[in-house]
Structure 1
Amino acid sequence: MSARDSILQRLRAAHPQAAGILDLERRIDAHFDARRADPPAAPAVLAQRMQAALEAVRAQAWCARAGEWPAQVARRLLDAGVSRIVVDAVTPEGRALRAALPASIEAVAFDRPLEDWKEELFGTVDAGFTVARSGIAATGTLVLAPDAASPRTVSLVPPLHIALVHAHTLHADLHQALHAERWQDGMPTNLVLATGPSKTSDIQQTLAFGAHGPRWTWVVIVTESLNVKEPA
């Protein structure tokens, strides 16, 4: 019996009306199952949907093969005038990007307490690079699981957030992500859902970007050998 089933069993035993929870869950599952394609969308299709959804919220997104994305990101960084980027040296993706960066772009690791370099981070770092745990194609949402090498600060503080997500980790919608990744069995301390650049309309109902996070978001969807449209 899973932890979820055990909890529901105790709830039903404690209060007979709690049995309605199970019926509600079944109806929610049926609702989302009816909305999805049968058979499920292929990763290539989800990658295209993810890209379109990201572009709709003013993020820059493109698909790239596994061996080509580091050079593509490095070239875009150079064109954008980025001089310093926070990127870890722990993950294979972080090491690949570091190796592709030109000498004019400095790669910085988040390897010390924030208090020791807060002024430097806020004042001199142009971009932060993260690897998403997965993505939600329907809304263009990145599922980020920050850790010691790439804490939440990396995707929140620099004005440009660059995220990499693998096409095989994409889900059709939030409901599918929740069930496929079994969030109910144990979530990380900090699971972040990020959709495009930071935006707000609090001031005079005028849309402004970068008020509470990155002003720009780039997302590269790594497709391996999938048959999707990729930049020339």
Structure 2
Amino acid sequence: MNARERILGRLRSAAPSAADVSIDELDRRIDAHYAGHYAMQPQSMQQRIEALQTALTAAHADVWCADIASWPAQLAARLAADGVRRLLLDTATPEGAALAAALPPDVDARTYAQPIERWKAELFDTIDAGFTVARSGIASTGTLILAPDAGTPRTVSLAPPLHVALVHAHTLHADLHAAARAERWRDGMPTNLVLVSGPSKTSDIQQTLAYGAHGPRKVWVVIVTGAADADPDADKTTNEGAAR
């Protein structure tokens, strides 16, 4: 039994009347519920962009939109103006390479090319910002979905005081259910996903809200629009999660 089946087994034990409901039937009911929700509240891509931006801004993230041609120069200029001198990024990705090429000479692009044990002090003491490319985003909650890998491990979004994330507008989903359906998570979840909804914050000490205790103090999000972002569902009553 996998984890999902074990959890459902415990729920069935607590509610015997539902014991004869199959997993496929539960999936069907859940999908039907959300399909009705999407039909009543259609969202175009522009609406998803605006919802993501509103939610992230409310969580104290700095969010702006840029087209696919201009975002590297815009971001490079903002990084330099903010005093960033060492930026951690993966130049093996198209976005990382584009940003590295746009950086001014006084901003040093660093890659995660060695185990953390070999440069932990340098990473935590000298890296000013980390750049990641989100796998997708959840508009309703203002959440970015990151899929860490060898070139961009979790540390890139957690250790530097500034986390800069890029998300392509065409990857935005209405909610978590739509993301799971559209990306077919049930067919094979990644070993690790990081969900980011703003800078790190805590109220553990005297119930005083503080930023940066367990992660970055600041989060910037660039929502990239472009030719690939044409919205096929702009005039329909469903989004991609409901249509699947």
Q: Using structure 1 for the length normalisation, give the TM-score.
A: 0.87
**In the alignment, residue 123 of structure 2 is paired with which amino acid?**
L
Distance 1:52 1:132 in 2: 18
Q: Give the 3-state SS of the residue equivalent to 2:226 in structure 1.
A: coil
Give me the whole-angstrom Cα distance separating, in 2, the residues matched to 1:131 and 1:143. 9
Q: 2:94 aligns with which of 92, 95, 103?
A: 92
Closer/same/farther in 2, CA of residues 124 and 18 from structure 1, 3 Å limit: farther
Aligned match of 2:27 in 25, 30, 42? 25
Secondary structure at the aligned position of 1:219 is classed as strand
Letter in 2 for 1:153: T
Task: Report the more deviating stretch, 147-156 or 43-52.
Answer: 43-52
Out of 58, 73, 76, which is 2:75 matched to? Answer: 73
- In the alignment, the residues of structure 1 paired with residue 202 and residue 209 of structure 2 have an alpha-carbon distance, to the nearest angstrom, of 6
Matched, 1:144 2:146: yes
For residues 121 and 20 of structure 2, the distance between their equivalents in structure 1, rounded to whole angstroms, comes to: 51
CA distance in 2, matches of 1:191, 1:157: 17
Work out the percentage of aligned pairs sharing the same amino acid: 60
Residue equivalent to 1:200:
202
Give, as a single letter, the amino acid of the residue that structure 2 aligns with 1:51: Q
Aligned length: 217
Closer/same/farther in 2, CA of residues 99 and 162 from structure 1, 3 Å limit = same
Alignment correspondent of 1:116: 118
Mapped partners of 1:216, 1:39: distance in 2: 32
Counterpart residue number, 2:171 = 169
Task: Please state how far the C-alpha of 1:100 moved relative to its aligned partner.
Answer: 0.5
Letter in 2 for 1:119: A
How far did residue 180 of structure 1 move? 0.7
Q: Secondary structure at the match of 2:96?
A: helix
Deviation at 1:26, TM superposition (A): 3.3
Q: Secondary structure at the match of 1:142?
A: strand
**What letter is aligned with 1:144?**
L
Q: Point out where structure 1 has 5 or more consecutive residues left out of the alignment.
A: 228-232
Moved more, 52-61 or 42-51: 42-51
Asked whether the equivalents of residues 44 and 223 of structure 1 are also in contact (C-alpha less than 8 Å), the reply is no
Letter of the structure 1 residue corresponding to residue 28 of structure 2: R
Distance 1:204 1:39, change over 3 A: closer
- Paired with 1:117 and 1:154, the residues of 2 have a C-alpha distance of 13
Match of 1:46 in 2: 48
Q: Tell me which of 110, 129, 140 is aligned to 1:127.
A: 129
Aligned-residue CA RMSD in angstroms? 2.3
Unmatched runs of 5 consecutive residues or more in structure 2: 10-15, 231-244
